[in-house]
Homo-oligomer: A and B are copies of this chain.
Amino acid sequence: MPQVPSTRWCPTPEQLMILEEMYRTGVRTPNASQIQQITSHLSYYGKIEGKNVFYWFQNHKARERQKLRRRLSKQQQPNMQPLQGAGGLDEQRSEGLDLLRKLEIECPPQGEEGSSSTSASSGTSLRCSCEWMKMVDPSFLEGTPPCCGISTPRTLELFPTTSTGLKDECSTSKSSSCSASTS
């Protein structure tokens, strides 16, 4: 008797499909509200919590990366053998990583709706998409009714990125000024 309800989340095929499609579309590190949305949408297809979505993206990203890394590491030095961890492959690795970095950039962060023409490509990575913590709210994490009246059609067009009211996050209530005074 499966009295033990199993300890971990087990994505349904639909959920997995959607997640993968989202990843392919470019979603990599969804922020709080995004995770919230994703979770509620996916909860239509089965039990799921916010942290599952969060973890999934973390893991998938990491593993895609490492898979890729492996590939081009081998491609570059097919005769390299892993025995004797002499640790001389730093150069290699570095190169690979750099390349990876580039590939990552190829699919830029989520839809920048506004994308004001001032393409400030001057850098300043500015991560700050991190406040998913807020999202991890037991109130809906535990609850998550199996189907929250979502009328998502079968075709599910990957949630139109309509700003649901929450704008850029990155400045919710915490840092009121990311001005970053250089020095």
Binding site for B on A (CB under 8 A): 2, 4-10, 12-13, 47, 49, 51, 85, 87-88, 90, 133-134, 136-139, 141-142, 171-178, 180
Q: For residue A2, which residues in chain B have a CB less than 8 angstroms away from its CB?
A: 177
Q: For residue A136, which residues in chain B have a CB less than 8 angstroms away from its CB?
A: 133-134, 136-137
Q: A88–B89 Cα gap in the complex (Å)?
A: 11
Q: A171–B90 Cα gap in the complex (Å)?
A: 41
**Option from B12, B176, B180 in Cβ contact (under 8 Å) with A4:** B176
**11 extra interchain contacts, Cβ-Cβ under 8 A, other than A6-B174, A49-B174?**
A2-B177, A4-B176, A4-B177, A5-B174, A8-B175, A9-B174, A10-B178, A13-B180, A87-B87, A87-B90, A134-B141
What is the chain B residue whose CB lies nearest that of A32? B138
Query: Shortest distance in angstroms between A32's beta carbon and chain B's nearest beta carbon?
Result: 10
Q: Shortest 8 CB-CB distances between A and B: which pairs?
A: A10-B178, A7-B175, A5-B176, A87-B90, A133-B136, A4-B176, A136-B136, A87-B87
Query: Shortest distance in angstroms between A90's beta carbon and chain B's nearest beta carbon?
Result: 5
